[in-house]
Amino acid sequence: MPNPIEFWFDFSSPYSYLASEQIEPIAARCGRRVEYKPTLLGVIFRTTGAVPLTELVPPKSRYFAHDFERSARFAGVPYRKPSVFPIPTVNAARALLWLQAQDEAVALRFLHAAFRAYFAQDRNLADAAVLEAVAREAGADPARLQQGMQEPAIKERLKALVDESIARGVFGAPTLFVDGEMFWGNDRLPQVERWLASGPF
Amino acid sequence: MPNPIEFWFDFSSPYSYLASEQIEPIAARCGRRVEYKPTLLGVIFRTTGAVPLTELVPPKSRYFAHDFERSARFAGVPYRKPSVFPIPTVNAARALLWLQAQDEAVALRFLHAAFRAYFAQDRNLADAAVLEAVAREAGADPARLQQGMQEPAIKERLKALVDESIARGVFGAPTLFVDGEMFWGNDRLPQVERWLASGPF
């Protein structure tokens, strides 16, 4: 069984959303599966000193707002600008981790539903009611999820993932690892696909 | 006659080199020509406050060093890490501008020879002897070029281009404009090609 593609992301990262809508067909074509690993960009930016999209100098931030919408159209991915951006994503990440431990299929549906709620439907994923509704849409039991998210093991798991991402050099999202090779950004998916299809280059 | 593709660049920008090796076939497929416009990233970074590749935080700078080499292999473009990086490019830019005013074919050969000298042959383009040799390789008369580069009109032309690039929101290189639409980065060439082939999206 070949290694999975590691997909590190934050639910508040627009280019992570774009990549999440495209990586599974790529993985399927190459006989791999995708392992989604949430991290927290807020912690990463504070730790590494990298500049978040939201704090870029004006000409760059203007360009990226436009580039993001154009990149969504280029990829054929629905997008509607979130009214609130960025948002805290600790709860969404913990919800995903708990669901991944319960039922992978439900967790995967939750991941895509959560990204789409925030980036295509302008629903604030940091709002507990939105998170609950998204969980229900994905087929999860919101009451059990609400409890599960509070488990110390889940909190520890997220903390461990954030630490691991920083230790492995992740400074932004999405960051993908294919057999140890690191690729940053939605725009590296063509390189990811070639690496998967024909090996290191 | 359709508008040319504007290709803004700095001779010291690695991703500009990669894009310069790929843009002309794209332009030819779409019935356009490429208008190469040098600017000076040093001035742009000082003016906009954007962070140059060389001053990124360590995990990001390590990644980019690797990404650049991988991106060159992905594009099939020869690359050899320059011993000196970055370099001042005022003289190379002025040389190009003077040549563009004399003979477009020689100017184009000079542009590619200069990029390749620096990024594929590890020859320091900021060195007057290297610049002279590159000009000779491109079919220019080095003595006349040396004089031409000092003309006040050429110095003014470069200054005007740098000002224009900043006024139009350029914050890094390469930056391409297609019918007014701005694209930043070698990795946006697929979007550039779709825009050229089938119009705005």
Q: What is the CATH number of the domain that holds B176?
A: 3.40.30.10
For residue A13, what pLDDT is reported? 97
Kindly write down the DSSP assignment for every residue of chain B, as one continuous string: -PPPEEEEE-TT-HHHHHHHTTHHHHHHHTT--EEEEE--HHHHHHHH-PPPGGGS-HHHHHHHHHHHHHHHHHHT------SS-S---HHHHHHHHHHHHH-HHHHHHHHHHHHHHHHTS---TTSHHHHHHHHHHTT--HHHHHHHTT-HHHHHHHHHHHHHHHHTT--SSSEEEETTEEEESGGGHHHHHHHHHH---
| A187 near B CB under 8 A | yes
DSSP SS3 for A104:
helix
Which burial class, exposed, middle or buried, applies to B102 when counting CB atoms under 10 A from its CB (0-12, 13-18, 19+)? Answer: middle
What is chain B's length?
201
CB within 8 Å: A57 and B48: yes
How far is Cα A8 from Cα A168, in angstroms, rounded to an integer?
Answer: 11
Interface confidence: ipTM more than 0.85: yes
Is pTM beyond 0.80? Reply is yes
Q: Which residue has the tokens 């932004």?
A: A172
CB within 8 Å: A187 and B187: yes
| Count of structural domains within chain A | 1
Over the stretch B177-188, which tens digit does the pLDDT of each residue have?
999 999 999 999
| B144 near A CB under 8 A | no
C-alpha to C-alpha distances, B97 to A190, B37, B40, B77, B156, nearest whole angstrom: 35, 8, 13, 25, 10
Of chain B, the percentage scoring pLDDT greater than 90 comes to: 93
For residue A200, what pLDDT is reported? 96
What's the half-sphere exposure (Cβ side, CA atoms, 13 Å) at B135? 29
For residue B142, what pLDDT is reported? 96
The C-alpha of B117 sits at a distance from chain A's nearest C-alpha, in angstroms, of 24
Kindly write down the DSSP assignment for every residue of B27-83, as one continuous string: HHHTT--EEEEE--HHHHHHHH-PPPGGGS-HHHHHHHHHHHHHHHHHHT------S
The C-alpha of A155 sits at a distance from chain B's nearest C-alpha, in angstroms, of 26
| B46 near A CB under 8 A | no
Of A169, A172, A194, the CB nearest to B62: A169
Backbone angles phi, psi at A64, to 5 degrees: -65, -35
Chain B residues with CB under 8 Å of A74 CB are 190-191, 194, 201
What is chain A's length?
201
Low-confidence residues of chain A: pLDDT under 70: none
Residue B36 above 80 pLDDT? yes
Mean pLDDT of B116-144: 97
DSSP assigned state of A53: G
Chain B residues with CB under 8 Å of A185 CB are 187
For residue A150, what pLDDT is reported? 95
- Answer yes or no: are the C-beta atoms of B17 and B92 closer than 8 Å: no
- Answer yes or no: are the C-beta atoms of A39 and A170 closer than 8 Å: yes
Q: Which residue has the tokens 């951006």?
A: A85
Q: Residue B124's domain spans which residues?
A: 5-198
Nearest CA in chain B to A56: B50
CB within 8 Å: A187 and B188: yes
